[in-house]
Amino acid sequence: MSESLLNRSLNCAGVPLRHVAQLQDTLRNGGEVALIDLREEAVFATGHPLFAVNLALSKLEIEVLDRLPRRNVPITLYDNGEFWDAAQGIRKTTRAVAILQALGYANIALLASDLAGWKEAGGELFIDVNAPCKAFGEWVEHHYHTPSFSAEQVKALQAQNANIAILDVRRFDEFTTMSIPAGISLPGGELVLRLRDAVPDPQTQVIINCAGRTRSIIGTQSLINAGIPNPVAALRNGTIGWTLANQELVQQQQASFPPLSEASRRAVADNSRALAHRAGVTRISPEQLAPWQQDRTRTLYLFDVRTADEFAAGHIDGACHVPGGQLIQETDHYASVRGARIVLSDHQSVRAEMAASWLAQMNWEVAVLDAPLSAYRVPGNGRANVAAAPAVEEVTPQQLRGWLAEGDTGVIDLTTSANFRLRRIPGALWTTRANIAQVLRQHPSVKRWVVTCTSGLLARYAVTEVAELTGLPAYLLQKGTLGWIDASLALEHGDSAWIENAQDRYRRPYEGTDVSPQAMQDYLDWEYGLVAQLERDGTHGFKLLQ
């Protein structure tokens, strides 16, 4: 760490504390709370408050501006006693304070007594990720009694050639990884809008599945709430339940929803609007949106919930693309300030109204933007709003190859552990950015360092840091590891000692095809207990329709 940055971090000793009771009162009263867990995702998943959000120190500069868009939002940080640089005794919270202050955030506090203080004050700790959304799904099923079929029941219907349609509401990439035989991909945000086109016969039994429980519960209940005439049920426990029932999953299915017809849109337009109104969702015009965007006293998120192709063809200025189903599944990630305003845009309205109806029941202040297609003028996929990175010296892949051949250069890779396992520069070492100091101390002496990641974006922030930690020249690999690959240079693949205990990502028990049955059952058991945990915690504010 540089002397200037070290001094800035040490000067953070005067940062105020924010106590658990204050945060809980703010949550119950609907105020804004940005409770930030700076640990890596796998550690975050071991336990955190319900509305804490994981914003790891390693990725702070590339995520914080979009996730905490208002510079004077009350931010509360914790790291549960973890050190960024154990040798110098610098905690992650102190480093984060220095970064946030440099970015202009003005209302920063530390969580008094960390997670131990939260528990001592009677607060619950929730494991896993996206806990508010998963708990909400359980709350929905508990109170609405959302119908479901077991895997055995669905398999029997298939064997009978019954009139059924299995609709998979996950992302398309999840669907192709592994899915129920004869399933069709229809992501949850599109479900109500496109149901009639995907399932023309109103007598067809519709069965909704995801990998576990949440998205299938919300998808099934969405169809019921929207007045779809078909009989509807969730596949109980999704692909996890299917696997635990010793049924086979298939891979690389491509069956997807057909193009949208006007008849399908008209069939649900009135009901979705009435449902949103009933849930307390407001409608605003672009003229009403403008002052909200300028309001420095409230955090605002503007989400476009349509398909990626529609978003790229043209969207509202300032909107972030988040398909509606994923927004309900991962609200805490996209809207990281609990109590913020959320505005949803969709020129068809139905998708925004359905997502908004759920967000309102999750106790968000949410509005649907009432604007014609002609207002969706900004083309492209959008870009993340990232902090300005320092100017650093770059080297080409060819130059790095020459240095590596001389044996006097170290390469440090800050990509995800999964990407590092998939492909990496030969001899590279891996770490999260927050642990650079510890990893560098374990490495033999070299003449210089080259820092990389997949694209070079995150690595750019760390080059100066590496130089100051080591006292050696440090460089950024031009275009990152992708530049190395584009130059057709040699790669390593597979396991590495550097990623044996990687904690940058929590492995979900419902993803992939190699998860143990016990891990899947443990995950389901946890979900079954979420309703009771919500009741003990008392900060959720969920308010379902009667």
Domain boundary among 129, 150, 179: 129
Cα–Cα distance measured from residue 449 to residue 476, given in angstroms and rounded to the nearest whole number: 9
Q: Residue 474: CB partners within 8 Å, gap ≥ 6?
A: 392, 448, 449, 450, 451, 463, 464, 466, 467
**Torsion sign, CA atoms 526, 530, 536, 538:** positive
Q: Which residues pair with 75 in a beta bridge?
A: 34, 108
Could you identify the residue written with the tokens 């001389």?
Answer: 406
90 and 73, same structural domain?
yes
532 within a domain of the structure (yes/no): no
66 and 118, same structural domain?
yes
Q: Are 336 and 300 in contact (CB under 8 A)?
A: no
Cα–Cα distance measured from residue 289 to residue 294, given in angstroms and rounded to the nearest whole number: 9
Domain CATH number, residue 211:
3.40.250.10
Cα–Cα distance measured from residue 29 to residue 539, given in angstroms and rounded to the nearest whole number: 9
Directed axis angle between helix 262-278 and helix 191-198, to 10°? 150
Q: Are 447 and 408 in contact (CB under 8 A)?
A: yes
3-state DSSP of 140-209? HHHHHCCCEECHHHHHHHHHCCCCEEEEECCCHHHHHHCECCCCEECCHHHHHHHHHHHCCCCCCEEEEE
**Torsion sign, CA atoms 392, 397, 402, 403:** positive
473 within a domain of the structure (yes/no): yes
Domain boundary among 341, 375, 409: 375
Best CA proximity match to 355, nearest among 175, 144, 193: 193
447 and 405, same structural domain?
yes
234 and 215, same structural domain?
yes
24 within a domain of the structure (yes/no): yes
pTM: 0.94
Helix (H) or strand (E) holding 449: strand 448-452
Residue 108: CB atoms within 10 Å: 21
Domain total in the chain: 4
221 and 148, same structural domain?
yes
Cα–Cα distance measured from residue 37 to residue 215, given in angstroms and rounded to the nearest whole number: 25
Q: Are 492 and 426 in contact (CB under 8 A)?
A: yes
What pLDDT is stored for residue 473 in this prediction? 97
Question: Which tokens sit at 184?
Answer: 């069709």
141 and 250, same structural domain?
yes
15 and 61, same structural domain?
yes
Cα–Cα distance measured from residue 74 to residue 62, given in angstroms and rounded to the nearest whole number: 20
What pLDDT is stored for residue 90 in this prediction? 87
Cα–Cα distance measured from residue 293 to residue 113, given in angstroms and rounded to the nearest whole number: 35
Q: Residue 176: CB partners within 8 Å, gap ≥ 6?
A: 185, 251, 252, 253, 254
Phi, psi of 451 (to 5 degrees): -105, 135
174 and 92, same structural domain?
no
What pLDDT is stored for residue 11 in this prediction? 52
506 within a domain of the structure (yes/no): no
291 and 181, same structural domain?
no
Question: Which tokens sit at 61?
Answer: 């500069």
Angle at 348 between CA 342 and CA 354, to 5 degrees: 50
What pLDDT is stored for residue 443 in this prediction? 86
What pLDDT is stored for residue 9 in this prediction? 47
Directed axis angle between helix 350-361 and helix 131-144, to 10°? 90
Domain boundary among 102, 129, 156: 129
What pLDDT is stored for residue 13 in this prediction? 62
389 within a domain of the structure (yes/no): no
525 within a domain of the structure (yes/no): no
415 and 347, same structural domain?
no
95 and 11, same structural domain?
yes
Sheet holding 232-235, edge to edge: 148-149, 232-235, 205-209, 164-168, 184-185
Task: Tell which phi-psi region holds residue 30, choosing left (phi > 0), alpha (psi between -120 and 50) or beta.
Answer: left
Cα–Cα distance measured from residue 219 to residue 215, given in angstroms and rounded to the nearest whole number: 6
What pLDDT is stored for residue 55 in this prediction? 98
What residues in the chain have per-residue pLDDT under 70? Answer: 1-13, 513
528 within a domain of the structure (yes/no): no
220 and 143, same structural domain?
yes
3-state DSSP of 84-149? EECCCCEEHHHHHHHHHHHCCCCCEEEECCHHHHHHHCCCCCECCCCHHHHHHHHHHHHHHCCCEE
Q: Which domain holds residue 355?
A: 273-375
What pLDDT is stored for residue 3 in this prediction? 37
Helix (H) or strand (E) holding 304: strand 300-304
509 within a domain of the structure (yes/no): no
Q: Are 162 and 204 in contact (CB under 8 A)?
A: no
What pLDDT is stored for residue 12 in this prediction? 58
Q: Which amino acid is residue 261, in one-letter code?
A: S
